[in-house]
Structure 1
Amino acid sequence: MLKKFLFVIPALFVASLYAQEAPLQYSEEKHLANMRQLTFGGDNAEAYWSFDNSKLVFQSNNPAWGLKCDQIFFTSIAGDDLANKKPQMLSTGQGRTTCAYFLPGDKTIVYASTHLGGAECPREPERKPGGKYLWPIYDTYDIFVADLKGKIRKQLTKEKGYDAEATVSPKGDKIVFTSTRNGDLDLYTMNIDGSDVKQITHELGYDGGAFFSPDGSKIVFRASRPKTEEQKKEYRDYLAQGLVAPTEMEIFICNADGSGLKQITTLGKANWAPFYHPSGKKILFSSNHKGTRGFQFNIFMINEDGSGLEQITYDGVFDSFPMFSYDGKKLVFSSNRNNGGTRNTNLFVADWVE
């Protein structure tokens, strides 16, 4: 789900950070090489690879493409950048969408959409001066399967409430997603045809942004864990309004059936958008724990046991949504780098260097 903390920053302040042209790649980014910018305008995020490593599916609200809120697109990595062309749209163009992912065979995708709840973009939460930054949890989100011409082939979820953030196991047999069907934001798994739905997390708090390990045996995700009665009440009150405050989250892992739950980070602030390293022993994630400003997010890497924290990206504003190609050779991510002082978030792909 496209969650970007930059929206709360005054535009003039962001522009001042880019008084000089920002680089495409920073010298400290030793794990990245041959970086290429793919998109040029609007917010482009959650780009995920096809199983054959040749295509990306992603969400965008690029106004140059006539969009008012996020819709789903796909592009070939071998093709030119998207500076002067609109890629193939796979969603309906109605409502708002999030979290698309290729299914085995690369002929279909899963994604979540609110279009059954209305053709218009759902309303964003009002940002009050001095108030908390909040994410909307739209109860009209459901998960669909579509082909690469944008035709919906199947609706996978029909429960009342939020069903979204679906990703697919590299084994091609399971989908993990977030749902409010039990009154809380928990993780569930299902077969790729939508059958055999099982709840795998049970603690109070937001569990989301989940991905399988390369062998499909584990799941990594972001979670909030309100501790005090005051925190629990605030969380429940926001959720009742279809909202969640994402400013305190940590990274967790568990087995694919939900057993063996373990917290990986204890960094404070917002740690999210995790993805497994190809080795299955390390995890990349986005965090603002080191930023001098609360909105400054970079990508970090950490061992499964919580040791060996290493910074991977160094943009001054926002880097997030890392995903390795299935062959482990490339990394795609979203960043505010090289955006000319605007709030645009674009997609970048680079070779991964160990």
Structure 2
Amino acid sequence: MKKILGLLILASAMVACNGSNSSSETDGHSGATAVSYIHYPQEKHLANVRQLTWGGDNAEAYFSFDGTMLTFQSNNSAWGLECDHIFAFDWNSDSATLTKPTRISSGLGRTTCAYFLPGDTTILYASTFAGDSACPPVPDRSEGYVWPVYNTFDIYVSNLKGEVIDTLVEGPGYDAEATVSPKGDKIVFTSDRSGDLELYTCDIDGSNVQQITSGLGYDGGAFFSPDGKKLIFRSSRPKTEAEIEHYTSLLKQGLVEPMEMELYTCNVDGTELTKITDLGRANWAPFFHPSGEKVIFSSNHSSDKVYKFNLFMLDLNTNEVEQITYDGVFDAFPMFSPDGKKLVFASNRNNGGDHSTNLFIADWVE
């Protein structure tokens, strides 16, 4: 969560796209729209791109273990939503009938970071509903762009009917951004229980909680490698006194500023911590390629516009970075299907100029 939906909303608010067979960009501040493809000619690794949602901000779509379903979060007002809630659906159904998929979250509070558990009959997600049934207030961004770190986020388990059946991780402070190992044995999540935003793992039933990272800075958005032995995540690492003061003062207010983040890997026990990018700006939403030797992620490092994010692939052996998507506004939240044949992601492309961020699925071409 990953609290990354904030960047998505920022991007979609700055500039929009309009479906067409031509392409142009605007400065993103005049209210003008940019023309967009559903599939750009340069996107050679994608084929048969298909749009799955229309309207609102839809993001963090993650496959079930068997690859037949997706869970995601949305704030689509047409579905009666005032803030993010969790949904699930069969992605291979006729997308034109996806007027409103099955809601998995309770309908109370704000939610984030849904992920299927082994067996595909239950889904975990984080929610603020135990603290307040209403949507929590969004941060005042008059002094800069920040993400909220809601201290009422805990991690719950729901069945596919939307019934909460377990509280997996709870306690005072922020517990969210949970994902599940492909091996089905462990969960990784972000928590501020130490006083900083660190990664933690636990067993699949929520027991045996272990702190994984300890460096000052925001560690989040973690995923497991295909063999379940490593983690990849995004992190800010303030260094100077001014940076440290800025980070810690914001955190005391329940805020983080996500403008500078790089990607790291480590073993699931926290050893062999390795910084794998040094690109500058915001690099985030990483996910391992099925080979385990490459990583796909979202970044604005190559753009002269802070809101413009595309997907890139990093070869962990050669450090070569390849651009994967080419939308003029925003591409993020990539995930490969368990068999490696599909890629799902969120994008501002083809939204008709209404600022919405939608889900897309494509065949992956090596």
* 8 Å CA contact retained: 1:38, 1:83: no
2:154 to 142, 147, 152: 142
Q: What residue is the counterpart of 2:360 in the other structure?
A: 348
State yes or no: 1:197 paired with 2:209. yes
Deviations 1:216-262 (A, max 9, x none): 00000000000001111110100000000000000000001110000
Look up the equivalent residue of 1:40 and give its one-letter code. W
Q: 1:86 aligns with which of 86, 95, 100?
A: 100
Asked if 1:100 is matched to 2:100, the reply is: no
Report whether the alignment pairs 1:122 with 2:136: yes
- 1:91-240 matched pairs, under 5 angstroms: 91-128=105-142, 131-240=143-252
- Residues 84 and 100 of structure 1, relative CA distance in 2, 3 Å threshold: closer
One-letter amino acid of the structure 2 residue matched with residue 81 of structure 1: S
Alignment deviations for residues 15-61 of structure 1 (CA, whole Å, 9 cap, x no partner)? 67475642100000000000000000000000000011100000000
Greater mean alpha carbon deviation, residues 265-274 or residues 78-87: 78-87
Matched residue, 1:327: 339
Would the aligned equivalents of 1:301 and 1:311 in 2 still touch at CA under 8 Å? yes
Equivalent runs, 1:30-45 vs 2, <5 Å: 30-45=44-59
Q: How many Å separate the matches in 1 of 2:272 and 2:229? A: 11
- The corresponding residue for 2:39 is 25
Identify which range, 255-264 or 303-312, moves more after superposition. 303-312
Q: Is the 8 A contact 2:15 2:355 kept in 1?
A: no
Which residue number in structure 2 is paired with residue 59 of structure 1?
Answer: 73
Which amino acid is 2:314 matched to?
I
Distance in 1 separating the partners of 2:314 and 2:247:
28
Cα distance in 2 for partners of 1:13, 1:273 equals 21
Task: Please give the TM-score of this superposition, normalised by the length of structure 1.
Answer: 0.96
Cα shift at 1:7 = 3.8
1:234-273 to structure 2, matched below 5 A, reads 234-273=246-285
List gaps (5 residues or longer) in structure 2: 18-24, 27-31
- Alpha-carbon distance, 1:9 to partner: 6.2
The answer as to whether partners of 1:189 and 1:197 remain within 8 angstroms in 2 is yes
Q: What letter corresponds to residue 42 of structure 1 in structure 2?
A: G
Q: Deviations over 1:264-312 (max 9, x none)?
A: 0000000000000000000000000011200000000002256110000
- Following superposition, the deviation at residue 77 of structure 1 comes to 1.5
2:206 aligned counterpart, secondary structure: coil
Q: 1:339 is paired with a residue of what secondary structure?
A: coil
Aligned length: 352
AA aligned to 1:64 is: A
SS at match of 2:258: coil
Q: Is the 8 A contact 1:57 1:102 kept in 2?
A: yes
Identity %: 60
Q: Whole-Å Cα distance in 2 between the matches of residues 110 and 271 of structure 1?
A: 25
Tell me if the contact between 1:11 and 1:342 (Cα under 8 Å) persists in the aligned partners. Answer: no
Query: 2:22 maps to what in 1?
Result: none
AA aligned to 1:37 is Q
Q: Which runs of 4+ in 1 moved over 2 A?
A: 2-21
Deviations 1:107-158, CA, capped at 9 Å, x for gaps: 0011000000111110000121xx3210000000000011000111110112
Tell me, in whole angstroms, the C-alpha distance in 1 between the residues paired with 2:13 and 2:358. Answer: 17
1:317 corresponds to which of 305, 329, 338: 329
Query: CA 1:207/1:32 → structure 2, altered by over 3 Å: closer, same or farther?
Result: same
* Partner Cα separation in structure 2 for residue 343 and residue 259 of structure 1: 42
2:6 is the alignment partner of 1:4: yes
1:287 equivalent in structure 2: 299
Answer whether contact 1:40 1:83 (CA < 8 A) is retained: no
11-20 vs 343-352, which moves further? 11-20
Contact kept in structure 2, 1:40 and 1:82, CA below 8 Å: no
How many angstroms apart in 2 are the aligned matches of 1:117 and 1:104? 28
Q: Which residue of 2 aligns with 1:74?
A: 88
- Change in 2 beyond 3 A, CA 1:215/1:94: same
